[in-house]
């Protein structure tokens, strides 16, 4: 199993467990993730959701070979169902990040409520590098958190952010030693689970209500642009270069 779940003391724990591929996510894994989130949302015994990866990696993003075999161009694609379940979760979602969080691995954090990371974590949104554009509301939510210029630097250049930068940008709540991240996140979940659940859900709703429609609009516009770019010569060159382990050549692009 590459997605592991367990529920203990009102906390539903969802673990991405594919360390041999640096937790790169396949379509089947997105299906399992969306199922786990939906189950947690509908289980009355669950009050908080905890999402985490492995001790040395959160997620390397999409499994590109799987991604290229079945590009997510339909609204019912597994990744869309997963992100809809995450962004629409009424219960608090806490993320614990160790190591790299690449692409969707960073994007999904923008939809979580509390994020704790290791001091060696790295966050990157290398969409432009792949001939693509931001996804799932990141073109809106990252500037909201970090300000336009910091967001533009990370989205246009695709360069990784350190844990310290992520904290400054408002992407994470706290930095901890790697061995302490999951334990701290679990303690925060335990604290949330002790609080009045209806009040928590209503507070989360109110916190996000101000930009909910804007986020939905951004996701829609991004998906159209992403699909268009996915079929471009730039994206084909970027993916071919990645799979061939060579630098891409965009000299003929315009």
User: Rounded to 5 degrees, what are φ and ψ at 55?
Assistant: -60, -20
Which residue's structure tokens are 């997105």? 30
Secondary structure in 3-state letters for 111-142: HCCEEEEECCCEEECCCHHHCCCCCCCHHHHH
- Asked, for residue 217, whether it belongs to a domain, the answer is no
Q: What is the rounded distance in angstroms from the CA atom of residue 234 to the CA atom of residue 20?
A: 29
pLDDT at 7: 97
Work out the angle between the directed axes of helices 233-244 and 212-230 (0-180°, nearest 10): 80
Which tokens in the block code for residue 52?
């985490």
Residue 234 domain-assigned (yes or no): no
Indicate whether 119 belongs to any domain.
yes
Q: Containing domain of residue 103, as a range?
A: 3-179
Q: Which residue has the tokens 């679990």?
A: 186
Low-confidence ranges of the chain (pLDDT < 70): none
State both tokens at 204: 């989360």
Determine, yes or no, domain membership for 149: yes
User: Cα–Cα distance between 231 and 223 in angstroms, integer?
Assistant: 13
DSSP bridge partners of 176: 118
254 domain-assigned: no
Spatial CB neighbours of 243, under 8 Å, sequence gap ≥ 6: 64, 65
Does some domain include residue 21?
Answer: yes
- Integer Cα distance of 60 and 222 in angstroms: 21
Q: Does 219 map to a domain?
A: no
Beta strands in the chain (DSSP E): 3-8, 11-16, 48-52, 57-59, 93-97, 100-102, 114-118, 122-124, 161-162, 174-176
- Assigned domain for 239 exists: no
CATH number, domain at 93? 3.90.226.10
Overall number of domains in the chain: 1
Tokens 């516009």 map to which residue? 221
Number of Cα atoms under 13 Å in the Cβ half of residue 108: 34
Global confidence as pTM: 0.95
């Amino acid at each position: 199993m590459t997605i592991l779940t367990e529920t203990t003391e009102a906390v539903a724990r969802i673990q991405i467990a594919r360390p041999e591929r640096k937790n790169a996510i396949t379509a089947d894994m997105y299906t399992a993730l969306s199922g786990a989130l939906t189950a947690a949302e509908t289980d009355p015994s669950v009050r908080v959701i905890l999402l985490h990866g492995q001790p040395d990696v959160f997620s390397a993003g999409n499994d590109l070979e799987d991604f290229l075999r079945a590009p997510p161009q339909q609204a019912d694609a597994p990744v869309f169902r997963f992100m809809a379940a995450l962004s629409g979760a009424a219960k608090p979602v806490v993320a614990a990040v160790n190591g790299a969080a690449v692409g969707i691995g960073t994007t999904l954090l923008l939809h979580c409520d509390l994020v704790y990371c290791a001091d060696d974590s790295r966050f990157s949104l290398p969409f432009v590098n792949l001939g693509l554009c931001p996804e799932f509301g990141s073109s809106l939510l990252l500037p909201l958190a970090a300000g336009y210029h910091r967001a533009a630097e990370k989205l246009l250049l695709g360069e990784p952010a350190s844990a310290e930068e992520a904290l400054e940008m408002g992407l994470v709540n706290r930095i901890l030693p790697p061995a302490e991240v999951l334990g701290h996140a679990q303690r925060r979940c335990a604290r949330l689970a002790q609080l009045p659940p209806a009040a928590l859900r209503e507070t989360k709703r109110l916190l996000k209500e101000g930009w909910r429609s804007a986020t939905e609009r951004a996701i829609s516009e991004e998906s159209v642009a992403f699909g268009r770019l996915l079929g471009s010569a730039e994206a084909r060159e970027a993916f071919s270069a990645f799979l061939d382990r060579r630098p891409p050549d965009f000299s003929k692009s315009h």
